[in-house]
Structure 1
């Protein structure tokens, strides 16, 4: 299944602020997610306490997203690991 991926303004701003290597790694991973979906090759886990919210691990970053429709993914945060798991 091919997904449509959307980034919120906050996620786009964070992506643009990353160094070229990290940005390329994240964009490549998002392209793979778009084309192949929830593959075992990707480290995706469902977030506890939320309906249809997931995290995708890409190196030292965590991408938080919501599966809104069967084919629509909204990325709402790209965070370093430390910030992603703070309560």
Structure 2
């Protein structure tokens, strides 16, 4: 099974806006999604009100993404947000 990770323009802007010491862990965790379906150790939850959207927890940040299955799994990175009471 092949996994493709695509970064939306907004997610790239969010990543660049993070402090430099936080950018590396976010990139590493997103790259770890490449090993799907063997993604043990990643804190991923399906969002209840959003169809097909998930969140990946990295420190105080949440990486929001969508996943489309099949022979080739496509993961679209949508946003990277600091965790607050209004993140979702």
TM-score range with shorter-chain normalisation? 0.7 to 0.9
Please list every run of 5 or more consecutive structure 1 residues that lacks an aligned counterpart in the other structure. Answer: none
Structure-2 residue corresponding to 1:43: 43
Bigger shift: residues 55-64 or 14-23: 14-23
Segments ≥4 residues shifted beyond 6 Å: none
> Is it true that 1:10 corresponds to 2:10 in the alignment?
yes
What RMSD over aligned residues (CA atoms) do the two structures have, in Å? 1.6
Match of 2:75 among 65, 73, 84: 73
Give the TM-score, by structure 2 length.
0.84
Gaps of 5+ in 2: none
Contact 1:63–1:79, Cα closer than 8 Å, also in 2: yes
- In the alignment of these two chains, the number of paired residues is 85
